[in-house]
Structure 1
Amino acid sequence: MEEGADLNPIALPGQRIGLLGGSFDPAHAGHLHITEMALRRFRLDRVWWLVSPGNPLKAHGPAPLAERIGAARRIADDPRIVVTGIEARLGTRWTADTIAALKARFPGVRFVWLMGSDNLIQFSRWDRWRGITAQVPIGVVARPGSRTPARSARAARILERWRLPQHQAARLADMTPPAWVLINVPMTALSSTAIRSARRKAAERPDAGAPLAGLGP
Protein backbone atom coordinates (compact mmCIF):
# COMPACT_ATOMS: atom_id res chain seq x y z
CA MET A 1 0.00 0.00 0.00
CA GLU A 2 1.29 3.45 -0.87
CA GLU A 3 2.62 5.46 2.04
CA GLY A 4 1.62 9.08 2.58
CA ALA A 5 -1.68 8.57 0.80
CA ASP A 6 -3.99 9.56 3.65
CA LEU A 7 -5.35 12.71 2.04
CA ASN A 8 -3.50 13.06 -1.28
CA PRO A 9 -3.65 9.90 -3.40
CA ILE A 10 -1.97 10.05 -6.80
CA ALA A 11 -3.59 9.06 -10.10
CA LEU A 12 -2.57 9.56 -13.72
CA PRO A 13 -4.81 10.06 -16.75
CA GLY A 14 -5.81 6.74 -18.26
CA GLN A 15 -5.46 4.78 -15.03
CA ARG A 16 -8.36 2.53 -14.08
CA ILE A 17 -9.13 3.12 -10.42
CA GLY A 18 -11.84 1.49 -8.35
CA LEU A 19 -13.42 3.45 -5.51
CA LEU A 20 -14.60 1.50 -2.47
CA GLY A 21 -16.26 3.86 -0.04
CA GLY A 22 -17.40 3.33 3.51
CA SER A 23 -16.73 3.97 7.17
CA PHE A 24 -14.37 0.95 7.40
CA ASP A 25 -15.35 0.63 11.05
CA PRO A 26 -13.41 -1.58 11.10
CA ALA A 27 -11.75 -2.65 7.87
CA HIS A 28 -11.67 -6.43 7.54
CA ALA A 29 -10.85 -9.33 5.25
CA GLY A 30 -14.22 -8.96 3.52
CA HIS A 31 -13.20 -5.52 2.22
CA LEU A 32 -9.94 -7.03 1.00
CA HIS A 33 -11.78 -9.88 -0.71
CA ILE A 34 -14.13 -7.53 -2.60
CA THR A 35 -11.14 -5.41 -3.60
CA GLU A 36 -9.07 -8.31 -4.89
CA MET A 37 -12.00 -9.64 -6.91
CA ALA A 38 -12.60 -6.18 -8.39
CA LEU A 39 -8.94 -5.70 -9.29
CA ARG A 40 -8.96 -9.01 -11.13
CA ARG A 41 -12.36 -9.05 -12.80
CA PHE A 42 -12.56 -5.35 -13.74
CA ARG A 43 -8.84 -5.14 -14.63
CA LEU A 44 -8.22 -2.16 -12.40
CA ASP A 45 -4.82 -0.59 -11.78
CA ARG A 46 -5.64 0.53 -8.24
CA VAL A 47 -8.46 0.51 -5.74
CA TRP A 48 -8.84 3.42 -3.35
CA TRP A 49 -10.45 2.72 -0.01
CA LEU A 50 -12.32 5.97 0.68
CA VAL A 51 -12.50 6.01 4.47
CA SER A 52 -15.35 8.43 5.11
CA PRO A 53 -15.48 10.92 7.98
CA GLY A 54 -19.01 9.56 8.63
CA ASN A 55 -21.81 7.62 6.95
CA PRO A 56 -24.98 9.73 6.46
CA LEU A 57 -27.13 6.56 6.51
CA LYS A 58 -25.85 5.40 9.91
CA ALA A 59 -27.30 6.75 13.14
CA HIS A 60 -24.18 6.25 15.27
CA GLY A 61 -20.81 7.79 14.48
CA PRO A 62 -17.75 5.67 13.67
CA ALA A 63 -14.38 5.52 15.41
CA PRO A 64 -11.99 8.46 14.78
CA LEU A 65 -10.89 8.78 11.15
CA ALA A 66 -7.15 8.39 11.83
CA GLU A 67 -7.81 5.23 13.82
CA ARG A 68 -9.89 3.70 11.02
CA ILE A 69 -7.31 4.63 8.37
CA GLY A 70 -4.56 3.02 10.44
CA ALA A 71 -6.56 -0.17 10.91
CA ALA A 72 -7.40 -0.29 7.19
CA ARG A 73 -3.73 0.04 6.28
CA ARG A 74 -2.91 -2.99 8.39
CA ILE A 75 -5.51 -5.04 6.49
CA ALA A 76 -4.70 -3.74 3.00
CA ASP A 77 -1.58 -5.75 2.23
CA ASP A 78 -1.74 -5.34 -1.56
CA PRO A 79 0.42 -2.60 -3.14
CA ARG A 80 -2.46 -1.76 -5.50
CA ILE A 81 -4.69 -0.67 -2.60
CA VAL A 82 -4.55 2.95 -1.47
CA VAL A 83 -6.21 3.81 1.84
CA THR A 84 -7.24 7.46 1.88
CA GLY A 85 -9.25 9.92 3.90
CA ILE A 86 -9.45 12.31 0.95
CA GLU A 87 -13.17 12.93 1.57
CA ALA A 88 -12.18 14.87 4.68
CA ARG A 89 -9.97 17.14 2.56
CA LEU A 90 -12.59 17.50 -0.18
CA GLY A 91 -15.22 18.37 2.41
CA THR A 92 -17.75 16.04 0.80
CA ARG A 93 -20.36 14.07 2.70
CA TRP A 94 -22.34 12.34 -0.04
CA THR A 95 -21.03 9.87 -2.61
CA ALA A 96 -22.35 11.91 -5.55
CA ASP A 97 -20.34 14.93 -4.39
CA THR A 98 -17.21 12.87 -3.69
CA ILE A 99 -17.22 11.35 -7.17
CA ALA A 100 -17.77 14.75 -8.82
CA ALA A 101 -14.88 16.23 -6.82
CA LEU A 102 -12.55 13.34 -7.67
CA LYS A 103 -13.35 13.55 -11.37
CA ALA A 104 -12.59 17.28 -11.32
CA ARG A 105 -9.38 16.74 -9.35
CA PHE A 106 -8.14 13.83 -11.49
CA PRO A 107 -9.20 14.49 -15.10
CA GLY A 108 -8.76 11.57 -17.45
CA VAL A 109 -8.76 8.93 -14.71
CA ARG A 110 -11.21 6.08 -15.33
CA PHE A 111 -12.97 5.73 -12.01
CA VAL A 112 -15.26 2.80 -11.19
CA TRP A 113 -17.49 2.83 -8.12
CA LEU A 114 -17.38 -0.48 -6.25
CA MET A 115 -19.96 -1.95 -3.91
CA GLY A 116 -21.11 -5.27 -2.52
CA SER A 117 -24.45 -6.66 -3.63
CA ASP A 118 -25.80 -5.90 -0.14
CA ASN A 119 -25.36 -2.19 -0.90
CA LEU A 120 -27.05 -2.51 -4.28
CA ILE A 121 -30.23 -3.50 -2.42
CA GLN A 122 -30.35 -0.10 -0.68
CA PHE A 123 -28.66 1.90 -3.45
CA SER A 124 -31.91 3.62 -4.44
CA ARG A 125 -31.96 5.22 -0.96
CA TRP A 126 -28.65 6.97 -1.55
CA ASP A 127 -28.67 10.72 -2.09
CA ARG A 128 -28.79 11.47 -5.87
CA TRP A 129 -28.15 7.84 -6.70
CA ARG A 130 -29.15 8.31 -10.32
CA GLY A 131 -26.54 11.06 -10.52
CA ILE A 132 -23.91 8.60 -9.31
CA THR A 133 -24.75 6.20 -12.12
CA ALA A 134 -24.41 9.05 -14.62
CA GLN A 135 -20.89 9.88 -13.42
CA VAL A 136 -19.06 6.54 -13.25
CA PRO A 137 -19.52 2.87 -14.12
CA ILE A 138 -20.44 0.70 -11.13
CA GLY A 139 -18.99 -2.69 -10.28
CA VAL A 140 -21.06 -4.82 -7.91
CA VAL A 141 -19.47 -7.83 -6.21
CA ALA A 142 -21.76 -10.58 -4.89
CA ARG A 143 -21.98 -10.89 -1.11
CA PRO A 144 -23.45 -13.76 0.95
CA GLY A 145 -27.23 -13.66 1.27
CA SER A 146 -27.71 -10.66 -1.00
CA ARG A 147 -26.84 -11.83 -4.50
CA THR A 148 -30.37 -12.92 -5.42
CA PRO A 149 -32.22 -10.01 -3.72
CA ALA A 150 -29.81 -7.55 -5.35
CA ARG A 151 -30.84 -8.67 -8.82
CA SER A 152 -34.43 -7.63 -8.13
CA ALA A 153 -33.62 -4.48 -6.14
CA ARG A 154 -35.26 -1.24 -7.26
CA ALA A 155 -31.99 0.21 -8.56
CA ALA A 156 -31.18 -2.98 -10.47
CA ARG A 157 -34.58 -2.98 -12.14
CA ILE A 158 -34.33 0.67 -13.16
CA LEU A 159 -30.79 0.22 -14.48
CA GLU A 160 -31.32 -3.15 -16.16
CA ARG A 161 -30.88 -1.80 -19.69
CA TRP A 162 -27.34 -0.61 -18.84
CA ARG A 163 -26.20 -3.83 -17.19
CA LEU A 164 -23.19 -5.64 -18.69
CA PRO A 165 -23.06 -9.43 -18.78
CA GLN A 166 -20.48 -10.92 -16.43
CA HIS A 167 -18.20 -12.05 -19.22
CA GLN A 168 -17.74 -8.41 -20.22
CA ALA A 169 -16.77 -7.24 -16.72
CA ALA A 170 -13.22 -6.42 -17.86
CA ARG A 171 -14.66 -3.70 -20.12
CA LEU A 172 -16.39 -1.86 -17.28
CA ALA A 173 -13.80 0.89 -16.72
CA ASP A 174 -13.89 1.74 -20.42
CA MET A 175 -17.67 2.09 -20.60
CA THR A 176 -19.49 5.41 -20.76
CA PRO A 177 -21.87 5.65 -17.80
CA PRO A 178 -24.43 4.57 -16.98
CA ALA A 179 -22.94 1.08 -17.01
CA TRP A 180 -22.80 -1.58 -14.33
CA VAL A 181 -22.18 -5.26 -13.76
CA LEU A 182 -22.87 -7.74 -10.97
CA ILE A 183 -20.20 -10.44 -10.72
CA ASN A 184 -20.37 -13.73 -8.88
CA VAL A 185 -17.24 -14.55 -6.87
CA PRO A 186 -16.16 -16.91 -4.08
CA MET A 187 -17.71 -15.31 -1.01
CA THR A 188 -16.76 -14.42 2.53
CA ALA A 189 -19.42 -13.55 5.11
CA LEU A 190 -17.36 -11.03 7.11
CA SER A 191 -18.88 -7.61 7.71
CA SER A 192 -18.00 -4.59 9.84
CA THR A 193 -21.33 -4.92 11.64
CA ALA A 194 -20.60 -8.52 12.64
CA ILE A 195 -17.13 -7.59 13.86
CA ARG A 196 -18.43 -4.71 16.00
CA SER A 197 -21.09 -7.02 17.44
CA ALA A 198 -18.51 -9.68 18.29
CA ARG A 199 -16.30 -7.09 19.97
CA ARG A 200 -19.19 -5.76 22.04
CA LYS A 201 -20.05 -9.27 23.20
CA ALA A 202 -16.43 -9.95 24.06
CA ALA A 203 -16.26 -6.73 26.08
CA GLU A 204 -19.46 -7.62 27.93
CA ARG A 205 -18.26 -11.16 28.68
CA PRO A 206 -14.47 -11.05 28.99
CA ASP A 207 -14.48 -14.59 30.39
CA ALA A 208 -16.17 -16.00 27.29
CA GLY A 209 -13.10 -15.68 25.10
CA ALA A 210 -15.05 -14.75 21.98
CA PRO A 211 -12.79 -15.45 18.98
CA LEU A 212 -11.89 -12.31 17.06
CA ALA A 213 -8.82 -13.58 15.24
CA GLY A 214 -8.94 -12.83 11.54
CA LEU A 215 -11.88 -10.47 11.82
CA GLY A 216 -9.88 -7.27 11.84
CA PRO A 217 -7.01 -5.51 13.61
Structure 2
Amino acid sequence: MTLRPPLRIPGITTLPPSASGMRIGLFGGSFNPIHDGHILVMEETMRRLELDALWVLVTPGNPLKNNAKLPSLTERVTAARARIGHPRIRVTGFEAEKGFVYTWQTIAFLTRTMPDRRFVWIMGADSLADFHRWERWRDIAAMVPIAVYARPGSGRRALASRAASVLDHAQLDESAGPLLPYAQPPAWIYLQGRQSALSSTAIRAQKGLTTA
Protein backbone atom coordinates (compact mmCIF):
# COMPACT_ATOMS: atom_id res chain seq x y z
CA MET A 1 0.00 0.00 0.00
CA THR A 2 1.31 3.45 -0.94
CA LEU A 3 1.57 5.74 2.10
CA ARG A 4 3.03 9.13 2.95
CA PRO A 5 5.18 9.65 6.05
CA PRO A 6 2.67 10.12 8.89
CA LEU A 7 2.24 13.72 10.03
CA ARG A 8 0.61 14.23 13.43
CA ILE A 9 -0.43 17.79 14.27
CA PRO A 10 -2.42 18.14 17.52
CA GLY A 11 -5.81 19.67 16.88
CA ILE A 12 -5.40 19.43 13.11
CA THR A 13 -5.13 15.72 12.33
CA THR A 14 -7.62 14.37 14.89
CA LEU A 15 -10.92 12.85 13.79
CA PRO A 16 -14.14 14.62 14.81
CA PRO A 17 -16.27 12.92 17.47
CA SER A 18 -19.16 10.75 16.32
CA ALA A 19 -21.59 8.16 17.63
CA SER A 20 -23.08 4.89 16.46
CA GLY A 21 -25.76 5.26 13.80
CA MET A 22 -24.76 8.76 12.73
CA ARG A 23 -25.17 9.70 9.06
CA ILE A 24 -21.91 11.41 8.13
CA GLY A 25 -20.99 13.10 4.87
CA LEU A 26 -17.35 13.00 3.77
CA PHE A 27 -16.22 15.92 1.62
CA GLY A 28 -12.57 15.75 0.63
CA GLY A 29 -10.27 18.13 -1.19
CA SER A 30 -7.26 20.43 -1.08
CA PHE A 31 -9.43 23.47 -0.22
CA ASN A 32 -6.84 25.85 -1.60
CA PRO A 33 -8.62 28.04 -0.77
CA ILE A 34 -12.01 27.12 0.64
CA HIS A 35 -14.80 29.31 -0.77
CA ASP A 36 -18.55 29.88 -0.73
CA GLY A 37 -19.07 27.30 -3.48
CA HIS A 38 -17.68 24.58 -1.20
CA ILE A 39 -19.89 25.73 1.65
CA LEU A 40 -22.97 25.74 -0.57
CA VAL A 41 -22.33 22.09 -1.50
CA MET A 42 -21.79 21.15 2.15
CA GLU A 43 -24.95 22.82 3.39
CA GLU A 44 -27.14 21.60 0.52
CA THR A 45 -26.02 17.97 0.78
CA MET A 46 -26.46 18.01 4.55
CA ARG A 47 -30.01 19.25 4.10
CA ARG A 48 -30.98 17.08 1.12
CA LEU A 49 -29.50 13.85 2.57
CA GLU A 50 -30.60 14.68 6.13
CA LEU A 51 -27.09 14.09 7.48
CA ASP A 52 -26.20 14.33 11.15
CA ALA A 53 -22.73 15.67 10.41
CA LEU A 54 -20.34 16.46 7.60
CA TRP A 55 -16.58 16.02 7.82
CA VAL A 56 -14.41 18.20 5.61
CA LEU A 57 -11.32 16.10 4.86
CA VAL A 58 -8.47 18.45 3.98
CA THR A 59 -6.02 16.32 2.03
CA PRO A 60 -2.23 16.59 2.41
CA GLY A 61 -2.10 16.78 -1.40
CA ASN A 62 -4.05 15.68 -4.46
CA PRO A 63 -2.17 12.81 -6.19
CA LEU A 64 -3.53 14.01 -9.57
CA LYS A 65 -2.11 17.52 -9.17
CA ASN A 66 1.19 19.31 -8.60
CA ASN A 67 1.36 20.02 -4.87
CA ALA A 68 4.78 21.65 -4.80
CA LYS A 69 3.43 25.05 -3.72
CA LEU A 70 0.43 23.87 -1.75
CA PRO A 71 0.00 25.80 1.53
CA SER A 72 0.57 23.75 4.67
CA LEU A 73 -2.12 21.45 6.00
CA THR A 74 -2.38 23.55 9.15
CA GLU A 75 -2.98 26.71 7.11
CA ARG A 76 -5.72 25.12 5.03
CA VAL A 77 -7.48 23.41 7.95
CA THR A 78 -7.36 26.60 10.01
CA ALA A 79 -8.71 28.70 7.12
CA ALA A 80 -11.54 26.23 6.50
CA ARG A 81 -12.54 26.20 10.15
CA ALA A 82 -12.55 29.99 10.23
CA ARG A 83 -14.77 30.16 7.13
CA ILE A 84 -17.33 27.52 8.11
CA GLY A 85 -19.92 28.53 10.66
CA HIS A 86 -22.14 25.44 10.66
CA PRO A 87 -22.01 23.63 14.04
CA ARG A 88 -22.32 20.17 12.47
CA ILE A 89 -19.61 20.64 9.84
CA ARG A 90 -16.19 19.67 11.18
CA VAL A 91 -12.82 20.09 9.47
CA THR A 92 -9.94 17.63 9.86
CA GLY A 93 -6.62 16.76 8.26
CA PHE A 94 -6.60 13.24 9.72
CA GLU A 95 -5.46 11.63 6.45
CA ALA A 96 -2.00 13.11 7.03
CA GLU A 97 -1.65 11.35 10.39
CA LYS A 98 -2.49 8.03 8.76
CA GLY A 99 -0.21 8.68 5.80
CA PHE A 100 -3.03 8.16 3.32
CA VAL A 101 -2.44 9.15 -0.30
CA TYR A 102 -5.68 8.03 -1.94
CA THR A 103 -9.38 8.40 -1.17
CA TRP A 104 -9.94 4.64 -1.20
CA GLN A 105 -7.53 4.33 1.74
CA THR A 106 -9.48 6.90 3.73
CA ILE A 107 -12.84 5.28 3.06
CA ALA A 108 -11.53 1.77 3.72
CA PHE A 109 -10.19 2.91 7.10
CA LEU A 110 -13.36 4.73 8.16
CA THR A 111 -15.77 1.97 7.11
CA ARG A 112 -13.57 -0.68 8.74
CA THR A 113 -12.98 1.09 12.05
CA MET A 114 -16.48 2.61 12.35
CA PRO A 115 -18.83 0.12 10.67
CA ASP A 116 -21.79 1.39 12.69
CA ARG A 117 -21.67 4.86 11.07
CA ARG A 118 -23.49 5.64 7.82
CA PHE A 119 -20.87 7.35 5.65
CA VAL A 120 -21.62 9.07 2.34
CA TRP A 121 -18.90 10.36 0.03
CA ILE A 122 -19.70 13.80 -1.41
CA MET A 123 -18.23 15.18 -4.62
CA GLY A 124 -18.98 17.86 -7.19
CA ALA A 125 -20.07 16.99 -10.71
CA ASP A 126 -16.65 18.08 -11.98
CA SER A 127 -15.09 15.34 -9.84
CA LEU A 128 -17.48 12.71 -11.19
CA ALA A 129 -16.35 13.61 -14.70
CA ASP A 130 -12.81 12.55 -13.74
CA PHE A 131 -13.71 9.90 -11.18
CA HIS A 132 -12.42 7.09 -13.41
CA ARG A 133 -8.91 8.56 -12.99
CA TRP A 134 -9.00 8.11 -9.21
CA GLU A 135 -7.01 5.23 -7.75
CA ARG A 136 -9.33 2.22 -7.26
CA TRP A 137 -12.43 4.25 -8.02
CA ARG A 138 -14.54 1.15 -8.45
CA ASP A 139 -13.58 0.08 -4.92
CA ILE A 140 -14.65 3.49 -3.61
CA ALA A 141 -18.07 3.06 -5.20
CA ALA A 142 -18.32 -0.44 -3.73
CA MET A 143 -17.52 0.75 -0.19
CA VAL A 144 -19.73 3.78 0.33
CA PRO A 145 -22.75 5.56 -1.21
CA ILE A 146 -21.87 8.68 -3.22
CA ALA A 147 -23.66 12.01 -3.54
CA VAL A 148 -22.76 14.10 -6.59
CA TYR A 149 -23.71 17.77 -6.49
CA ALA A 150 -24.25 19.76 -9.69
CA ARG A 151 -21.54 22.24 -10.71
CA PRO A 152 -21.86 24.96 -13.37
CA GLY A 153 -20.82 23.64 -16.79
CA SER A 154 -20.02 20.12 -15.54
CA GLY A 155 -23.39 18.37 -15.64
CA ARG A 156 -23.32 17.02 -19.18
CA ARG A 157 -19.68 15.88 -18.98
CA ALA A 158 -20.26 14.28 -15.57
CA LEU A 159 -23.35 12.31 -16.55
CA ALA A 160 -21.68 11.15 -19.79
CA SER A 161 -18.47 10.15 -18.00
CA ARG A 162 -17.01 6.67 -17.84
CA ALA A 163 -17.80 6.33 -14.13
CA ALA A 164 -21.42 7.44 -14.58
CA SER A 165 -21.81 4.91 -17.37
CA VAL A 166 -20.32 2.04 -15.38
CA LEU A 167 -22.42 2.93 -12.32
CA ASP A 168 -25.60 3.75 -14.24
CA HIS A 169 -27.41 0.76 -12.69
CA ALA A 170 -26.68 2.10 -9.20
CA GLN A 171 -28.04 5.63 -9.63
CA LEU A 172 -30.96 6.52 -7.36
CA ASP A 173 -33.62 9.12 -8.05
CA GLU A 174 -32.87 12.57 -6.69
CA SER A 175 -35.90 12.32 -4.40
CA ALA A 176 -34.27 9.42 -2.55
CA GLY A 177 -31.66 11.66 -0.91
CA PRO A 178 -32.59 10.84 2.73
CA LEU A 179 -32.33 7.11 1.93
CA LEU A 180 -28.84 7.31 0.44
CA PRO A 181 -26.92 6.86 3.74
CA TYR A 182 -28.74 3.53 4.20
CA ALA A 183 -28.28 2.29 0.63
CA GLN A 184 -26.11 -0.71 -0.08
CA PRO A 185 -23.20 0.41 -2.28
CA PRO A 186 -22.73 0.86 -5.11
CA ALA A 187 -25.37 3.58 -4.90
CA TRP A 188 -25.20 7.20 -5.96
CA ILE A 189 -27.38 10.21 -6.50
CA TYR A 190 -27.07 13.34 -8.61
CA LEU A 191 -28.32 16.41 -6.79
CA GLN A 192 -29.33 19.53 -8.68
CA GLY A 193 -29.98 22.84 -6.98
CA ARG A 194 -28.37 26.15 -6.13
CA GLN A 195 -24.93 26.48 -7.69
CA SER A 196 -21.90 28.71 -7.41
CA ALA A 197 -19.50 29.49 -10.23
CA LEU A 198 -16.65 30.03 -7.77
CA SER A 199 -13.64 27.71 -7.98
CA SER A 200 -10.38 27.52 -6.09
CA THR A 201 -8.51 27.54 -9.41
CA ALA A 202 -10.13 30.82 -10.47
CA ILE A 203 -9.55 32.41 -7.06
CA ARG A 204 -5.86 31.50 -7.17
CA ALA A 205 -5.58 32.86 -10.72
CA GLN A 206 -7.06 36.18 -9.61
CA LYS A 207 -4.43 36.36 -6.89
CA GLY A 208 -1.65 35.44 -9.28
CA LEU A 209 -1.11 32.01 -7.70
CA THR A 210 -0.62 28.74 -9.55
CA THR A 211 -0.77 26.30 -6.66
CA ALA A 212 -2.85 23.14 -7.29
Match in the other structure for 1:209: none
Residues 33-182 of structure 1 aligned to structure 2 (within 5 Å): 33-61=40-68, 62-182=70-190
Whole-angstrom CA distance in 2 between matches of 1:92 and 1:6: 12
Q: TM-score when scaled to structure 2?
A: 0.90
Q: Secondary structure at the match of 1:200?
A: coil
Contact 2:149–2:192 (CA<8 Å) still a contact in 1? yes
Alignment deviations for residues 101-137 of structure 1 (CA, whole Å, 9 cap, x no partner): 1122323110000000000000000000000000000
Q: Secondary structure at the match of 1:20?
A: strand
What is the one-letter code of the residue matched to 1:36?
E
Over alpha carbons, which structure has the higher Rg? Answer: 1
Q: Secondary structure at the match of 2:121?
A: strand
Whole-angstrom CA distance in 1 between matches of 2:203 and 2:79: 13
**Structure 1 residue 6: Cα displacement:** 4.3
Distance 1:16 1:5, change over 3 A: farther
Match in the other structure for 2:208: 200
What residue ranges of structure 1 are gaps of 5+ in the alignment?
202-217
Residue correspondences, number: 198
What is the one-letter code of the residue matched to 2:44?
M
What fraction of aligned residue pairs are identical, expressed as a percent?
47
Q: Secondary structure at the match of 2:28?
A: strand
| Runs of 4+ that moved beyond 6 A | none
Contact 1:35–1:47 (CA<8 Å) still a contact in 2? yes
Whole-angstrom CA distance in 1 between matches of 2:56 and 2:36: 13
Distance 1:114 1:9, change over 3 A: same
Contact 2:145–2:188 (CA<8 Å) still a contact in 1? yes
Whole-angstrom CA distance in 1 between matches of 2:152 and 2:202: 13
What is the one-letter code of the residue matched to 2:204?
R
What is the one-letter code of the residue matched to 2:22?
Q
**Structure 1 residue 60: Cα displacement:** 3.1
Q: Secondary structure at the match of 2:130?
A: helix
What residue ranges of structure 2 are gaps of 5+ in the alignment?
1-10
Whole-angstrom CA distance in 2 between matches of 1:5 and 1:69: 7
Alignment deviations for residues 127-173 of structure 1 (CA, whole Å, 9 cap, x no partner): 00000000000000000000122111110011000000111111100
Match in the other structure for 2:19: 12
**RMSD, matched Cα:** 1.2
**Structure 1 residue 8: Cα displacement:** 2.5
Contact 2:12–2:77 (CA<8 Å) still a contact in 1? no
Whole-angstrom CA distance in 2 between matches of 1:95 and 1:147: 22
